[in-house]
Amino acid sequence: MNRLSSAARRAIFAPLDSEARVEVVVRRLGDAIALGLLADGEQLPGESDLAGRLNVSTVTLREALMALRQQGLVATRRGRGGGTFVQAPADTLHDRLRQTLFAHTIEELRDLADHYAVVAGGTARLAADRADSTDLDAPRRSLQEFADAGDAPARARVDGRLHVEIAAASQSARLTREEIRFQTEIGPLLCLPFAGEQAHRTADRQHRALLDAIAAGDGATARDLAEEHVRDALRPLIETRLDGTWQAAR
Amino acid sequence: MAGSAVTADDRVAPGEDTTTGDAVAEAVDRVGGMLEGIFTTVRETVGRTGALLDAVAAAGRRPTRTDLARLQPLLRGQLARHTGLVSGSGFVAAPGLLADVPAWLEWWQPGPDGRAVPMLLDLDPTTSAYSDYTHWDWYTLPRGTGRRAVSGPYVDYLCTDEYTLTLAAPVLVAGAFAGVAAADVYLRHFEDAVGPALRRIPAPAYLVNPRGRVAASNSALRLAGSLARDLDVAAARGELLLHPCGEIPLTLVTHRS
């Protein structure tokens, strides 16, 4: 029973050119790493062994490993105890975020922090004037979810939502859009400090104080707390960027 | 007139002359009539969605997105009919209602060229912090009361980032809550529609929702978005008058000038 046309069969069984082979190897190993089938830190078999098992040439394998290295999914160490090692996606995320952070200059980050602090402060002051207790149900829920969040990406995601909800409580669509813009720009970067328990606890404490001030209608305190919160969140990012200045220099 | 009772349903309330009373009556009619018109549209969505879900249930299966896609001509027509006033219309499924996805909004909005476009949200909780829409007033009010509701004005950071009023009503299938039908009105469009009638009132006047949030106003002293606290107390003291807008849960507040 040969249901496929002969043309289709030819396409399916056509010999892989070397480019397609590289892609197939990258996809197969990349997927296995992303899915956790190959564990973080696990050493891959040696090049000739692996090439033999996959039935590709060592040239093809080397090209595939280079692509995986560029994606941050493997790292190659030379010398004694060297070889190619799996890097789990969590590390990849971390690396990717560092790259994003390092794409900003210190001056840009300082200016971003200034702008964000002013907007967050003014937004919090307005929210204190205008929010009723029902308006604060959503941020209070997020506050608790943030406190309970175990991993850094979830913390960064919920933190972002919490601040958007506070902005919405100010009843200003423009300020809410501005907050969303800040979240898009630097929200994911907050994964870096939020990986630390200390930063997580500090942010949680500040969230509670901020929401209490807004609920009490104390605009001046809410403004000060929001500004402080932004500066405290961005300071470790700027410090990381300062520490890495020499690395980014080309 | 101090000390007189608050007579919210009088066309000419104590303390108002006939001119003011007429203008108030006109404004109340305008607001009530306009929002009732949009609620008629929401009722249409309720009816069509309910019938569609009933038919699927009668066929012995659970609904899917494909079933809800049959609402599209209706929703497109609604947006065309209310151009410049309704900026979104559709059905928001209760999570777990559909067989093929955990959650869904069959929601249509006017696109940049005026043609209706579907709104597609990231409802995956592992990538979006906004995947759970069951806390919004436009969902909880109809679900909780079983009745229609006006929610807002509020900043809609889920869909449009616009300051919005949402008119919503529950959809029931065999008596059980299946989701809400709703229509969005941007507050600037609402202001355009009711502003002239409010301006004709020769005293400070503004519309508030049941929580005291101002939805439209005829004076810069108290604009949309501000919170008017303790209106009942002020009304009892005779400082202002409260006028209902028919069955619509908005109240027109007029100050004694």
pLDDT tens sequence across B80-108 = 999 999 999 999 999 999 999 999 999 99
Instruction: List, for residues B192-205, the tens digit of each pLDDT value.
Output: 999 999 999 999 99
Count: domains in chain A: 2
pLDDT, averaged across chain B: 90
The token duo for A59 is 């040239």
Q: Do both A65 and A101 map to the same domain?
A: no
Answer yes or no: is pLDDT of B22 > 50: yes
Question: How would residue A35 be classed by pLDDT, with cut points 50, 70 and 90?
Answer: low
Every domain range in chain B assigned CATH 3.30.450.20: 37-189
Residue A185 lies in a domain: yes
Residue B1: pLDDT above 60? Answer: no
Portion of chain A with pLDDT greater than 90, in percent: 42
pLDDT tens digit string along B202-228? 999 999 999 999 999 999 989 999 999
Q: Give the one of B130, B155, B226 whose C-beta lies nearest to A173's C-beta.
A: B155
Chain B touched by A143 (CB under 8 Å): no
Q: Note whether A98 contacts B: Cβ–Cβ < 8 A.
A: no
Q: Is A1 within a domain?
A: no
Which of B157, B226, B230 is most worth mutating to test chain A (most A CB atoms within 10 A of its CB)? B157
pLDDT of B3 over the 60 cut: no
| Domain that residue A132 falls in | 94-248
Q: Looking at per-residue confidence, does B14 or B181 come out higher?
A: B181
pLDDT, tens digit, 9 for 90 and up, residues B28-60: 999 999 999 999 999 999 999 999 999 999 999
Residue range B117-128: mean pLDDT, rounded: 80
A194 falls within a domain: yes
Where is the domain boundary, A87, A119, A139? Answer: A87
Verify whether the Cβ–Cβ distance A171 to B212 is below 8 Å.
no
Q: Say whether pLDDT at A112 is over 70.
A: yes
Q: CA–CA separation, B45 vs B58, rounded Å?
A: 20
| Band of residue B156 on the pLDDT scale cut at 50, 70, 90 | very high
User: Which tens digits make up the pLDDT trace of A80-105?
Assistant: 777 888 887 665 667 767 877 888 89
Judged by average pLDDT, the poorest of A31-40, B121-130, B188-197 is A31-40
Q: Domain holding A29: CATH number?
A: 1.10.10.10
CA of A247 to nearest chain B CA: how many angstroms apart?
A: 31
Residues with Cβ within 8 Å of A238's Cβ and at least 6 positions away in sequence, in order, are: A106, A109, A110, A113
CB contact under 8 A, B135 and A138: yes
At residue A213, does pLDDT exceed 60?
A: yes
pLDDT (0 to 100) of residue B13: 54
Q: Which fold has domain B37-189?
A: Beta-Lactamase (3.30.450)
Give the CATH number, domain containing residue A98: 1.20.120.530
Residue of B155, B187, B226, B229 for testing the chain A interface, max A β-carbons within 10 Å: B155
CB-based contact B12:B235 (threshold 8 Å): no
pTM: 0.76
Q: How many A×B Cβ pairs under 8 Å?
A: 49
